Amino acid sequence: MKKIETIIRPSKLDLLIDRLEGIGIKGMNIFEVKGYGAQKGHEEMYRGVTYHIRLREKIRVEMVVSDDMVEKVVDTIIEAAKTGNVGDGKIFISPVEDAIRIRTGEKGEAAL
Ligand SMILES: Nc1ncnc2c1ncn2[C@@H]1O[C@H](COP(=O)(O)OP(=O)(O)OP(=O)(O)O)[C@@H](O)[C@H]1O
Ligand SMILES: [Mg+2]
C-alpha cells in the first residue's frame, strides 16, 4: 500500500474528486493548506502598492491505495490538475505498513 498526497489548485478539487471516484478510489482526506514552491509566493498589487504574498492557498488530498492503483492515481491527478502553468502542484508517494478497518478488524488492502 502507498499513501499518495497531492497538492493542487483549489479550483481543481471538484474535478479531481470526480475522477478519483471514477477510478474506484473509496476514501480520501482533503486539507486546506497554505504553502509555497519554487517561486516563493507572488506579487499582488493593491491601490497601486505591490505586496509580496508569501503563501498561496492550496488543497492537499491524501489517500491510501493498493500498490497496483498508484500509476492510475498519478495519471488521474495529472490529468485533472494540470494547467501547464507554475503552481500546478506536486504528488508525493510514500509506503504504508498496514491499514485496519476499525469496525471489522480487516487488515491490509481489505481495509481500504
Ligand atoms: N517540496 C515540497 N514539499 C511540500 N510541499 C510542497 C513542495 N513544493 C511545493 N509544495 C506545495 O505545493 C504547492 C504548489 O507548488 P508548485 O506547483 O508551485 O511547485 P514548484 O516547485 O514551484 O513548481 P512550478 O515551477 O510548476 O510552480 C506549494 O504552494 C506548496 O504548498
Ligand atoms: Mg511554483
Give 67-110 pLDDT, tens digit per residue.
Answer: 999 999 999 999 999 999 999 999 999 999 999 999 999 999 99
The domain at 2-111 falls in which architecture?
A: 2-Layer Sandwich (3.30)
Buried b / exposed e over 38-75, threshold 16 CB at 10 Å, is: eeeeeeeeeeeeeeeeeebebbbbebbbeeebeeebee
Instruction: Domain ranges for the chain, please list them.
Output: 2-111
| Calpha distance 100→108 (Å, rounded) | 6
Atom of ligand 1 nearest to the CA of 86: 27
Q: Greater confidence, 36 or 43?
A: 36
What is this structure's pTM?
Answer: 0.94
How confident is the model at residue 21, as a pLDDT?
97
Query: Which residue is it, cell 504574498?
Result: 53
Atom of ligand 1 nearest to the CA of 89: 17
- The pLDDT of 54-75, averaged and rounded, is 97
For all residues of the chain together, what is the average pLDDT? 96
Query: Which residue is it, cell 498561496?
Result: 56
How confident is the model at residue 41, as a pLDDT?
85
Q: Which residues line ligand 1 (CB under 6 A)?
A: 7, 33, 35-39, 56, 58, 86-90
